Structure 1
């Protein structure tokens, strides 16, 4: 720690899974900068407390649910307000929709003068009916109750303002975006000396038995919002092009969250896709591919694209919110119109015939990740932002 304590910051997210995945290094970074760090989330396993202790921070459990639940949310609001009044943080930072609304409201009631809402995505973009209306109201209130709103991508800020959820020009983006950047040493190519575990036997067998001119990898939740149906339709379109067309195959990494990929796989020719399920370390799967594909319908700023970029693997992404910020089209990867399987198939076939183009984009992607998105740079931007707010608040 350098100098006197800077202040107390409370960081609130919905679940301990989010906290464990995204916050440990950042909390430790803030603690080393002189902040007293408190983190709150729903922690049914207690893993949150272990993570906070290792990072030099404090933690507390918040009993809320991911989806809107009025009675549960009221109880969480009451308990959280009391907790914040006792802790008296200088700044409350919230992220994710539930923490954004209930957490920011509790901070407002508790009299916390600096309330920062970090916007990591708009779940309402792909919701319909009553749920979309509820989510829109929650986002509107979260932004209005905050003293500052920071989006993790330029397109997300613009989309939020275009939907009327925030005043034009009121949402900030730090640097070139991203919520926490990428560990550019952990995510790098095997040629750079990176030690990664081997592929599982089933994936190795799939790649050996089904040779192709282009191997695509998808990494993420198998959820309808991720646009996996577009990816599968593009693979089928490549296969329909007949003799002489480049052979394209895909390795799909992630657990099923409502997409049911098996039923789609049955409609495809054999040897086109391989499903791995959840894996502990995505690096060997990304490095086994020529390109990563993220055909998502919405994002905030996709971390998996940064991870692939840091490993020298270019990405093919949709032009949806968030995705469009993660690739420089034609330089670090390619973009295609959201949901357009034929356009995606055309890109796959063109890349299959251009290995030098893939190599060039991979090198550019790595350079961009190292220059603009290393974790320490993103953490420094966020810490400096908080310190600037605190300095303006104090006499």
Structure 2
């Protein structure tokens, strides 16, 4: 198939290209000349190798950094002017702002931005006002905005960031869907799971809660650790498995939380893992008390692996989880209700079994990856028809 149109995908850090959009670049590159742009390190070049696309490093920061931001904007503008892409499609907040501004200035005809979360929702006062202005400007520069959940779309409309006709949720949401053949508990034998549990010091009868993601305040880690601390003092055969990295420079945990993670022998922190499936395979329930999300991949992954989830009542999470069917929804920042939900998961076997039976089927039926990819491709093809 002859590929005549050029598509540039931009994220702030290469991990987003590599993990959050895994496989999508290779699929889309059957139809378009795809270039991946992100800050440069070895992970960016892993994307080139794994996805079979060209990559270009342009440094961007996740924090507000006026001088670096201006430099990044100029480099993106120059790159877009040189490459003359048909589409620039950005993901993640900073890449969205810089990429949409640069693409508009460079005269790129189709400027698409996927919204997978709104960090500004946790900001207040003057900072929030500034971020609101930046968000509106970003959307003004875009020709189409794709919230990856219906809840995010509602928030964008409530905040009046853009007009309704610029917004579209693809399918049931999600930026990349879920490969349910890859995330399948049948890929791991009982013996493999037993051996891996033993390696981590987890006993056969232990009930394992798992959290996957950045170990930061706005993921609800402070509340999760406090809820688990209370639980582990009541019940001994329970473990909490933390899979992710600390980001102390951006959103540090409280000293009490850090101390509890370090000192509680029932909390196992394993850092970032390229493949989270073995950890999900040995776990019983995902605990994901985040303050804000788009449509969180980890809840999709856990469900596909047959795990019920405890999530907070935020957009995205409360679309994947239907309370009492494949998980439990608790209020944001409510340690007591989180603790109670964890206790019910452990103590009510019939309730837990009911959730577990539904968990995988409810993901497979709504978020299969190929369907999401086809939806994105259809959007691109529509743009060609409108030329």
For 2:349 and 2:47, the matched residues in 1 are separated by 42
2:251 matches 1:253: no
Map of 1:234-383 to 2, 5 A cutoff?
234-238=227-231, 248-258=238-248, 259-260=252-253, 263-264=256-257, 266=259, 271-383=265-377
Give the match for residue 71 of structure 1: 67
For 1:54 and 1:340, the matched residues in 2 are separated by 41
Residue from 222, 233, 245 that aligns with 1:229: 222
- Bigger Cα displacement from structure 2, 174-183 vs 191-200: 191-200
Give the match for residue 18 of structure 2: 20
- Bigger Cα displacement from structure 2, 332-341 vs 73-82: 73-82
For 1:354 and 1:169, the matched residues in 2 are separated by 46
Residue from 210, 217, 223 that aligns with 2:210: 217
Q: TM-score, normalised by structure 1?
A: 0.88
CA contact (8 A) 1:80 1:103 kept: yes
Q: How far apart are residue 201 of structure 1 and its match?
A: 5.7
Q: How far apart are residue 127 of structure 1 and its match?
A: 2.7
Deviations 1:254-294 (A, max 9, x none): 22223447733656995542222333432222222211010
For 1:338 and 1:14, the matched residues in 2 are separated by 27
Pick closer, same or farther for the CA change 1:94–1:313 going to 2, 3 Å. Answer: same
For 1:6 and 1:354, the matched residues in 2 are separated by 58
Give the match for residue 59 of structure 1: 55
> Partner of 1:217: helix, strand, or coil?
strand
Unpaired runs of 5+ residues, structure 1, are none
Q: TM-score, normalised by structure 2?
A: 0.89
CA contact (8 A) 1:24 1:52 kept: no
Pick closer, same or farther for the CA change 1:102–1:194 going to 2, 3 Å. Answer: farther
Q: How far apart are residue 302 of structure 1 and its match?
A: 0.8
RMSD value, Cα? 2.7
> Partner of 2:8: helix, strand, or coil?
strand
- Bigger Cα displacement from structure 2, 337-346 vs 5-14: 5-14
CA contact (8 A) 1:184 1:374 kept: yes
CA contact (8 A) 1:217 1:251 kept: yes
Unpaired runs of 5+ residues, structure 2, are none
